[in-house]
Amino acid sequence: MAQERGNRKMITILSIDGGGIRGIIPATILDFLEKELQALDGEDARLVDYFDVIAGTSTGGLVTAMLTAPNEQGRPLFAASDITPFYQEHCPKIFPQVSAGPFTGIVKTVKQLFGPKYDGKYLYKMIQEKLGTTKVHETLTNVVIPTFDIKYLQPIVFSSFELKNDKYLDVKLLDVTISTSAAPTYLPAHRFTAHGKEYNLIDGGVAANNPALLAMREITKELYRENPAFFPVKPLDYRKFLLISLGTGTQKQEEKYNAEKASRWGALGWIRNGDSNPLIDVFSQAIVDMVDIHISVVFQALNSENNYLRIQDDTLSGDASSVDISTKENLDNLIDIGKKLLDKPVSRVNLDTGRNEPVGNETNRGALKR
């Protein structure tokens, strides 16, 4: 598919952040985008037909697999419109909620001290049923999905582009999806063997919760190698890149933690605070923002800021900011947040303050149409 798109003027990238059940937010936006493309090119149009690479981490990796895995007819297994109902049906079973009681908090804390919050069995069974034996090389466009190997303490990025250089990366998409979703303390690490090599992997979010920069890196390497699908674009000519990066929301408008409280936390306090995991919240959000700031600086420096669209909601609060509160009410609320996000103004990093600020009068909906 990338070869067919090679004659286009732009190299197109779609990136989807990690964030557990909050993956419904980008799913809602992707549904809108695919419908707009169908209005132009017919109801059979799918996102894989328009993007040279789709990158996803954690829940974003699951969405990436759903959008790019082939069905028996050689078309995407899922349309974008299928993803939100998929989350609504399966998230309550992946993250089963415990009925509230006088000792609920104590039970949760003790459980997390001795094992992951969820056993991951339903997630594995469900993804196995959907993806079967499909391997990375069979995806309908190039994919980039990060994981982290805890045995060797290094990131392992499953990239379509690297398959010709490293046969060990051509593994089952099932294993990649389970691995990139294995968030520490929430889901168990994933061990599997492929091509005689053993993998011991956890959530790619510990290395690249926002995989947009990874996707740019993979494209840049292919340009350096003069891949005919993209050549003759020069390796650092990011003006030829068109990047849509979808976040899963964050809580920045109101206090979630503070130094006074954190100064008294030990290991347990950093792992659990209410229904949150401060340690994971902090490093995952730091990674997300640093990537956004870096890419924003590059595109603005090249006067190509309109080639980079970052859609993110930083006003989440309460249950909506959780990665695993899978009640019907919260899932419905996240869908509503995604829909409202379409009508919010396009935001961009202010290079002086480092904060995202609205720019102009264009909405995210209008930018996607453009």
Cα–Cα distance, 143 to 159 (Å, whole number)? 6
Cα–Cα distance, 308 to 291 (Å, whole number)? 12
Residues whose CB falls within 8 Å of the CB of residue 45, separated by 6 or more in sequence, listed in order: 34, 37, 38
CA-only gyration radius of the chain, Å: 20
Q: Identify the helix (H) or strand (E) that includes residue 349.
A: strand 345-349
Residue position matching structure tokens 């003027």: 9
Q: Is the dihedral of CA 249, 52, 126, 191 positive or negative?
A: negative
Task: Choose among 135, 169, 148, 165: nearest CA to 65.
Answer: 135
Q: Which residues are catalytic?
A: 58, 203
Residues whose CB falls within 8 Å of the CB of residue 260, separated by 6 or more in sequence, listed in order: none
CA distances from 196 to 109, 150, 199, 227 (A): 38, 18, 10, 29
